[in-house]
Amino acid sequence: MKFLIDLAPVILFFATYRLAEARADSAFSLAQNLLGSDFPQTQAPILLATLVALGFSVLQVGYLLARRRKVDVMLWLSFAIIVVFGGATLLFHNPTFIKWKPTVLYWSFAAALMGGQLFMRRNLIRSMMQQAEMQLPEAVWTQLLLAWIAFFVVMGGLNLYVAYNFSESAWVNFKVYGGTGLMLVFVLLQALMIARFMEDK
């Protein structure tokens, strides 16, 4: 359930973008009323999609704070990045900012994992997974950490490659299907590796 809630801004971004594409004139009129008129009609879908995703993120964090529930570090990081890059997209009417948002998020995760190991001597992957009482040898924890760092670095670069070499519509598809799909495949591979070790043990 938490996974679906965390994924909601991406889903809403995609749904809004596609709906605005299908109803271009209405979307442009709405975007003009909400954001001003100094942008071409073709930018209306991504501007509206960004506005919806940003709005949901604000409501999500606001709801947790109002209910006095914990906002985890990853959610705070994601929230800060979408406020900065989504806000810049809406303020300057420039989709480049929102296209950079996934890359900045991925690379921030990679930097946090690497920084935890280098400066705090702490494997953050182990810290998270040991909450489920999972016990693995040090070498396996190191492999998992390096794999996640590499994955986030590659995903950040892949996002920029798609953003600058394909159409905006293709990038939106990649953001939803490609990014989510690759994440699920990677998590599955990690689970299979852990399961194989547990069986061997």
3-class DSSP string for the chain: CHHHHHHHHHHHHHHHHHHHHHCHHHHHHHHHHHHCCCCCHHHHHHHHHHHHHHHHHHHHHHHHHHCCCCCCHHHHHHHHHHHHHHHHHHHHCCCHHHHHHHHHHHHHHHHHHHHHHHHCCCCHHHHHHHHHCCCCCHHHHHHHHHHHHHHHHHHHHHHHHHHHHCCHHHHHHHHHHHHHHHHHHHHHHHHHHHHHHHHHC
Show which of 40, 72, 93 is a domain's final residue.
93
Mean pLDDT over 8-37 rounds to: 94
Do 5 and 70 fall within a single domain?
Answer: yes
Last residue of a domain, one of 93, 110, 142: 93
Range of the structural domain that residue 136 is part of = 95-201
Measure the N-to-C terminal CA separation of the chain; round to a whole number of Å: 32
Q: Is the pLDDT of residue 199 over 70?
A: no
pLDDT for 7 equals 80
24, 32 contact by CB (below 8 A): no
Q: What is the CA radius of gyration of the chain?
A: 19
Do 165 and 151 belong together in one domain? yes
Q: Are residues 51 and 101 in the same domain?
A: no
Q: Which range, 32-41, 66-75, 96-105, has the best average confidence (pLDDT)?
A: 96-105
- Between vectors from CA 110 to CA 105 and to CA 48, what angle results, nearest 5°? 10
85 shares its domain with 23: yes
Q: How many CB atoms lie within 10 A of CB 50?
A: 25
Same structural domain for residues 56 and 141?
Answer: no
Span 169-188, mean pLDDT? 93
Range in 131-140, 142-151, 168-177, 184-193 with the lowest mean pLDDT: 131-140
User: Are residues 105 and 200 both part of a single domain?
Assistant: yes
Q: Are residues 112 and 180 in the same domain?
A: yes
Cα–Cα distance measured from residue 93 to residue 110, given in angstroms and rounded to the nearest whole number? 29
Instruction: Please name the amino acid found at residue 44.
Output: A
What pLDDT does 191 receive?
87
Mean pLDDT (whole number) for 36-51: 93
Q: Are residues 82 and 10 in the same domain?
A: yes
Q: Which region among 137-141, 162-166, 176-180 has the lowest average model confidence (pLDDT)? A: 137-141
Confidence of residue 164 (pLDDT cuts 50, 70, 90): very high
Share of the chain above pLDDT 70, in %: 93
Residues 101, 52, single domain; the answer is: no
Q: How many CA atoms lie within 13 A of 47 on its CB side?
A: 25
**Nearest CA among 121, 126, 152, 124 for reference residue 139:** 126
Residues 105 and 201 in one domain: yes
pLDDT, one tens digit per residue, over 91-120 is 999 999 999 999 999 999 999 999 998 888
Q: Which of 61, 93, 125 is the last residue of a domain?
A: 93
pLDDT for 198: 66
The pLDDT, as a whole number, for residue 130 is: 67
Give the pLDDT mean for 81-95.
Answer: 96
How many structural domains are present in the chain? 2
Residues 106 and 163 in one domain: yes
Residue 50 and residue 114 in one domain: no
How many CA atoms lie within 13 Å of 155's alpha carbon, on the beta-carbon side? 28
- pLDDT value, residue 133: 65
